[in-house]
Every structure is written in C-alpha cells, then in structure tokens.
Amino acid sequence: MAGRRRLPAAAVTVLLFVWVLSCGHVEASIDFANMTALQKHAEYFDRDKDGIITPSEIFEGYVAIGCDAEFARATAASISAGVGPITSPVDAPLPHLSIYIEYIHRAMHGSDTGAYDAEGRFVPEKLEEIFTKHAKVRPDALTSMEVEEMILANRDPLDPQSWGAPVREWGLIYKLASDKEGFLHKDSVRGYVAIGCDVAFSRTMASAVSAGVGPITSPVDAPLPHLSVYIEYIHKAMHGSDTGALDAKGRFVLEKFEEIFTKHAKVRSDALTSMEIEEMIIANRDPLDPQSWAAPEGEWRLIYKLASDKKGFLHKDSVRGIYDGKVFYKLEEQRTSPRSDM
C-alpha cells in the first residue's frame, strides 16, 4: 500500500493558521500608554490592537513591510511556535501560539547583545557597542564574518540553549538588510531607530524601503545596486490606493488632506482612531490596482504606531507633519531626549 502523501510546508502553515483562528483567547491586559521599547516593537504586529498577536497578524505585518507571502508565512509559524508558549498566560487556550504583548519580555533570551534590558527597554549604548567591538573592516558596518564573531562572543557558556536564537535572528537581519557587497550598515537603520522603532524592525524596514524605492528613484547613471533613494525623484515612487494628498509631482494637495478628516474622522473631527484609519485605507483602494493595496496599509500603520497619542488618536497636525516631514524631526527629538525610554 502506498504511503500517505506529505503536505508541502506552505499547506501545513495554512492549516496551522486555520486551527489557531478557530481558537479563543484570554483577554489581554496591557498599558498601551506606558509600553517598553520591546512591547512597542511587538505592538506593530498587533493588527487589531487587542494586546494579542496571532500567527495571521504576524503574517500580515511582514507582508505590510514588504516581505513576500511565502517568507511571511514561514516566519509567522516559526515565531508563533517559539514565542507563543512563553508569553501565553496559564489560562490561555491551547495550542498557545498567540503572543501576549504584556509578557513579551519573557521571550528574551541569553547570549544576545544586551540592546534590550531585562524589562524590554532599549539600551542605545549596547547598540553602539555592536559596532565599536565587532566592526573591523568598516566602523559603520558589519560583514557576515563579523556578525558570526559577534554571535560567538555573546554566547553564554552556562546557557547553551540560548545559542540558537541569536543565530537565527542575526541571520535573518543580515539576509534582509545587508548590501550587495555583504555589509550590514549602521546608517541604514539609524533613522528608524531615532524615531522610535526597534532595531530588528528598523533593519527590516530599511531593507524594504531601499529595495522598493531605491531602484525607482535612482538615475540611470547611478552606481549599482540602486538601493539609495534620490530625493529629487521621490515622486516616482508614489503609488495608487492612497489619499491623493500628494499629486503626481509630489506636491501637497490641501483639499485632499482635509478630505481625510471630513470623510473619516467621526469620533473627533481633528483626529483619527485606528478603526477610522482602517476604514479610510479600504475606502481608498483602487479595485483595478490590487498591487497598490499593501503600501498604504504599511505606511498608515507605521504612522499610527509612531504618532498616535496615549488615547489612541492620530491628530490632524501630526498627519500634516508626516507630509512635510516635520513630525519625524519632532519624534527624533523626543526619542533622543534624556527622559525618553528609547
């Protein structure tokens, strides 16, 4: 009798998602106004903002920041299986594959760089140490060999079980963010770190933005690999399914900006809730251009993550600052102040 045919990995992952989505959850308890840096990073993937991250939400988050579907599925399955059981409350329903943001610090492991402390707060001095200690070929970048040396140097000889996680994490970071010459640059992620994103997320975003926008905005005579973004031609990177607040040349259109709030701001006339942003994104989708749907999703989720207030409102003046760039300078100033958690 012939053996049973094995399902492909992608099919197994899809079945896993169906299984998880059929399960309930224990209600999460988290103070969104006072989250640590690690919780803020994890919260990006909490698409419905209930304090719980399901495998499907991890998948959606990775797709939104530019990862392909196959990679996003595999990563979602891996993260859920590894982190879900650690962060789930004891009374959470099986199979414990959802991640509870309140307890994300439990998923921290040894043999790491120390860029997060025991409570999940970001430690910028430790980030600098990565390069001062291990960047030898170039002071502002790491080679694959230097990444390997750093991983080995950070290994805790008394905790061999923690050795595997940094290998996987840094391997993924290097794959996503290194350039064609094999350098993992410090400068490529500094901007996102300054405005409040965690290091791993920043590296992923830097890679996605450079790979997506660089080739479109690079002049024909620009040196390869065309990963730098040329501001002069930034309008070439504009996409459909957006608000129309920028015209085809990248000029601000005040009337379209006002429409964002007159059409979608219902709870408050001068601010948007996360639900109102979702409604706006869906309303702006061009049915003839489904490939353009993902970009606004990722952009507006990031804007909301960075600029919404403690009550969950994204204010009109903050959105206006996104379009002229002022909000990024403001966020960087806030994040780098001595009182900032990040």
Phi, psi of 183 (to 5 degrees): -100, 135
In this model, does residue 70 exceed pLDDT 80?
Answer: no
Instruction: Name the 3-class secondary structure at 184.
Output: strand
- In 3-state terms, what secondary structure has residue 246? strand
pLDDT at 341: 45
Give the pLDDT mean for 314-336: 71
Nearest Cα to Cα of residue 94 among 105, 83, 85, 102: 85
pLDDT given for residue 25 in this prediction? 54
Specify which residues 184 forms β-bridges with: 142
pLDDT for residue 267: 94
Could you give the 3-state DSSP secondary structure of residue 315?
strand
Asked if pLDDT for residue 202 goes beyond 70, the answer is: no
Amino acid type, 225: P
pLDDT confidence bin for 199, thresholds 50/70/90: low
pTM, entire model: 0.43
Burial class (CB in 10 A: 0-12, 13-18, 19+), 211: middle
Average the pLDDT over 86-110 and give the result.
80
Question: What's the number of CA atoms in the CB half-sphere (13 Å) around residue 288?
Answer: 0
d(CA 302, CA 296): 10
> Per-domain residue ranges for the chain?
7-107, 112-237, 240-335
CA–CA dist 175, 181 (Å, integer)? 12
Q: Angle at which helices 69-87 and 55-64 pack, to 10 degrees? A: 140
Q: pLDDT tens for residues 292-307?
A: 787 787 778 777 877 7
Confidence class for position 3, pLDDT limits 50, 70, 90: very low
pLDDT above 80 (res 212): no
Q: Which two tokens stand for residue 169?
A: 């994490």
- For residue 150 the two structure tokens come to 């750093």
Q: Which of 173, 119, 103 is nearest to 142 (CA)?
A: 173
On whether the CB atoms of residues 40 and 304 are closer than 8 A, the answer is no
Mean pLDDT to the nearest integer, 226-231:
77
Residue 277 or 107, more confident: 277
- Name the range with the highest mean pLDDT among 176-190, 196-210, 211-225, 305-319: 305-319
Confidence of residue 263 (pLDDT cuts 50, 70, 90): very high
